[in-house]
Amino acid sequence: MKAEFIIVGAGSAGCAMAYRLAQAGRKVIVIEHGGTDAGPFIQMPAALSYPMNMRMYDWGYKSEPEPHLGGRRLACPRGKVIGGSSSINGMVYVRGHAMDFDHWDEQGARGWAYADVLPYFKRMESWHDSGHGGDSSWRGSDGPLHVSRGPRANPLYRAFVEAGRQAGYQVTDDYNGEKQEGFGPMEQTVWQGRRWSAANAYLRPAQRTGNVQIVRAFAQRVVISEGRATGVEVLRKGRREVIEAEREVVLAASSINSPKLLMLSGIGPGAHLAEHGIEIVADRPGVGANLQDHLEMYIQMAASQPITLYKHWNLLSKAAIGAQWLFLKRGMGASNQFESAGFIRSKAGIPYPDIQFHFLPLAVRYDGQAAAEGHGFQAHTGPMRSRSRGAVTLRSANPADDPVIRFNYMSHPEDWDEFRTCIRLTREIFAQDAFQPFVKHEIQPGEAFQTDAELDDAIREHAESAYHPCGTCRMGRADDRNAVVDPEARVIGVEGLRVADSSIFPRITNGNLNAPSIMVGEKVSDHLLGLDPLARANDEPWVHPEWKTSQR
């Protein structure tokens, strides 16, 4: 078995690369350990809490006991299915802030500034504003990835944006356009009522070209001979095989599995590899380091009116919603229900937002457990640029063993300060006049939690991952000892091998990571094809004119 390009992982970036390579007439094999993404649990947007909690679709990773969160082991779902995590995620679409990418460029990822990546965001999108405003010149109109907005029929969606305005914050009609800062409609990768995953957007059209073959197998390691990647050793139907790459191997296996595969292949921190008896091909201390994530908490309010989604939280209503979706692809089942958002700055002196809100007109946990109170609503909130860093390391030299995942959440004192600010600012928003008709009392953390110490206790007990791990194969200058890949995503010290997924992010972006992960696949596909990058954009993003002196 051989092809010009071998891509490990049919996830967000992997599918995008397969599509662009296939379009250019290249032969590609995509190796994916997971199975089909067919079926209502994945394709129906409102069912998002199911696939995320099903071992059938998820690697089922957990962090090691987190020392700063009372020793809790946090869930770290990663998609093990066609479409990868884009098939089990919340479908929220956020590009990230312009300054995130400028920071990447400053950190040595030259050619990844906002002016460089904006054309790729435009190339990948088909944006549907549904008459909600927004400036189409900032958006793409004919890309494979459909981006839409929910109907925002529930009055609570408007109340959230209005409360933000009443509290003195900006309003934005498109946080993915010129102005991220403010409150406004949230965007989702949903099209014609279906989850528009990377598999639906990119992989199926790529397969139709006849240039892409998907091989169901478990990648064990990259085969490297004389300093060059020549293929991938896989376990397929119980047998070991090598799939050969005539040109290049690309790891797009996630920020957890890409560094694991590099280490199993002899690329990583020398002492760590030696400890596990792995022969060192390239001593790269940055492999697996620099692990980042977004931690968030749900600030939940009990509702004084029965207008929340809780009225559908019963078997009969769920069956009716499911049937309507199955036959018509319409109704409640056709949205992820995250339809209003907010991006704000935690204090004066910060030039761009460092707090994100997802608003949901239901008080529920990610595992699908509704709040005992019944009718309620919640805002997910947390700091966007935590200073805490963790690592992914090997448990053993056996590819079947899960890696060791240590996020080291809340290990930096400033994270506590920022998180308390998030909670207090959220409470202030829920206290505005716009919410007066709807708020009964606070469910979580609860009104009893007021002092710094009390809020810290609540964070320790209730903070959860937003499932945005990244950074473990950091992109930087080729002479940077801690960088893993250069600005063309080539693994430093090995020929014919690249990494292209969220693991190459030098620093986590503002918001959910699916959009920037797909963008990485789009941009790296041009590097793989030896094309000149798209012409730089010269759009100037909005920055609050008084950011130095004002928080809002």
Confidence of residue 496 (pLDDT cuts 50, 70, 90): very high
Domains contained in the chain, number? 1
Structure tokens at 35: 């199975």
Residue 542 lies in a domain: no
* 245: enclosing H helix or E strand: strand 239-251
Residue 395 lies in a domain: yes
- Distance CA(161)–CA(509), nearest Å, equals 23
Quick one: pLDDT at residue 373?
86
Quick one: pLDDT at residue 367?
74
Residues at the binding site for FAD are 81, 89-92
Confidence of residue 130 (pLDDT cuts 50, 70, 90): low
Question: pLDDT tens, 245-297?
Answer: 999 999 999 999 999 999 999 999 999 999 999 999 999 999 999 999 999 99
SS3 47: helix
Confidence of residue 143 (pLDDT cuts 50, 70, 90): very high
DSSP class of residue 371 equals P
User: Do residues 45 and 195 touch, judged by C-beta distance below 8 A?
Assistant: yes
- Distance CA(432)–CA(164), nearest Å, equals 8
Residue 524 lies in a domain: yes
Residue 272 lies in a domain: yes
Dihedral pair phi/psi, residue 176, rounded to 5°: -95, 5
Average pLDDT, integer, range 30-41:
96
CATH number for the domain including 337?
3.50.50.60
User: Do residues 520 and 255 touch, judged by C-beta distance below 8 A?
Assistant: no
Residue 535 lies in a domain: no
Average pLDDT, integer, range 352-358:
98
- For residue 293, the enclosing domain spans 2-529
Position 132 pLDDT exceeds 70:
no
Catalytic residues: 468
Structure tokens at 368: 């699908």
Average pLDDT, integer, range 214-241:
98
Residues at the binding site are 81, 89-92
Nearest to 477 by CA among 84, 17, 108: 108
Question: pLDDT tens, 401-440?
Answer: 999 999 999 999 999 999 999 999 999 999 999 999 999 9
Quick one: pLDDT at residue 463?
97
Share of the chain above pLDDT 70, in %: 99
Quick one: pLDDT at residue 77?
96
The mean predicted confidence, pLDDT, of the chain is: 97
Residue 491 lies in a domain: yes
Dihedral pair phi/psi, residue 38, rounded to 5°: -70, 155
Quick one: pLDDT at residue 370?
79
Say if pTM beats, i.e. exceeds, 0.95: yes
Residue 75 lies in a domain: yes
Average pLDDT, integer, range 369-395:
94
Position 131 pLDDT exceeds 80:
no
Average pLDDT, integer, range 9-33:
98
C-alpha of 35 from chain center = 21
Residue 543 lies in a domain: no
Question: pLDDT tens, 299-339?
Answer: 999 999 999 999 999 999 999 999 999 999 999 999 999 99
Question: pLDDT tens, 178-198?
Answer: 999 999 999 999 999 999 999
